[in-house]
Amino acid sequence: MTPRPCPAPPAAPRGSAMRYLCVALMCVCLFATGWLAGKVYGGSWELPPWLTRLGEMAAYTPGEPLLFNSGLFMLLFVAFTGIHTLCRRRRGLQMAAVIAFSLYFYWKSSATYCFILLGICLTDYGLGLTMGATRSRTMRRALVWANVLINVGMLVYFKYFNLLGQTLASITSTDFDPLDLVLPAGISFFSFRSISYMVDLYRRRM
């Protein structure tokens, strides 16, 4: 019997990549606006009270992350729940709300490391679209390995670069100046989730 060919993967909706990319860019602009407002608030320029308050809410404050028991978190959670419920028939808007609120919460806890998370999300989305459009097993494996190298390389850099450098320096009797690295919040979680996402795409489970 002649084996049946594998069914072609479903094509991504037209314009979906551009739509989510625009949402991501809007989030970046929002964070940049908040950062600028925070800088202006701390400087000599005078702003209207409502804009000053908005700048305080959007700006990153070291040592004061957005806690789950804070009033701001509860207010944003209620707003997010309402928006998500109202957009239950518009999956694109729901996804945009999830992305925007998630990035905002991460921004309040990790500042510019938020852009690492955003970069991983955009990279995964691009690799996923490419994998969905190709039927070559070799190409699909290459995409998975590219994702693994990106995420594992990022983990090694932030978590083990100084340790490996000090170990190598002690073996070779050389000097090593450790880098001042701050571990991004949840980096192990979203790195391995990224890898599992690509593996599921490779195995056609999604």
Asked if pLDDT for residue 26 goes beyond 90, the answer is no
Q: Give me the pLDDT at residue 10, please.
A: 45
What pLDDT is attached to residue 148?
92
**Angle at the Cα of 93 from the Cα atoms of 90 and 95, rounded to 5 degrees:** 110
Calculate the alpha carbon distances from 161 to 146, 154, 170, 176, 194 in Å.
Answer: 20, 10, 14, 11, 21
Q: What is the mean pLDDT of the chain?
A: 76
For the segment 140-191, what is each residue's pLDDT rounded down to a tens digit? Answer: 999 999 999 999 998 888 888 888 888 888 888 888 888 888 788 788 888 8
Q: What is the CA radius of gyration of the chain?
A: 21
By CB atoms closer than 10 A (0-12, 13-18, 19+), residue 162 is middle
Model confidence at 21: pLDDT above 70: no
Contact 56, 41 (CB under 8 A): yes
pLDDT by residue (tens digit) across 106-148? Answer: 888 777 788 888 888 888 888 888 988 888 889 999 999 999 9
Residue 12 has what pLDDT?
Answer: 42
User: Higher confidence at residue 26 or residue 45?
Assistant: 26
Query: Which among 155, 159, 145 has a CA at the least distance from the CA of 198?
Result: 145
> Average pLDDT, stretch 84-90?
83
pLDDT in tens, 41-79: 555 555 566 666 666 676 777 777 777 777 778 888 888
Percent of the chain residues past pLDDT 70, beyond the cut: 72
Is 0.75 topped by the overall pTM?
no
On the CB side of 95, CA atoms within 13 Å amount to 12
How confident is the model at residue 147, as a pLDDT?
92
In this predicted structure, the answer to whether residue 104 has a pLDDT above a threshold of 50 is yes
Contact 126, 95 (CB under 8 A): no
CB 38 within 8 Å of CB 58 = yes
Whether the per-residue pLDDT at 4 is higher than 70: the answer is no
pLDDT at residue 11, rounded to an integer: 43
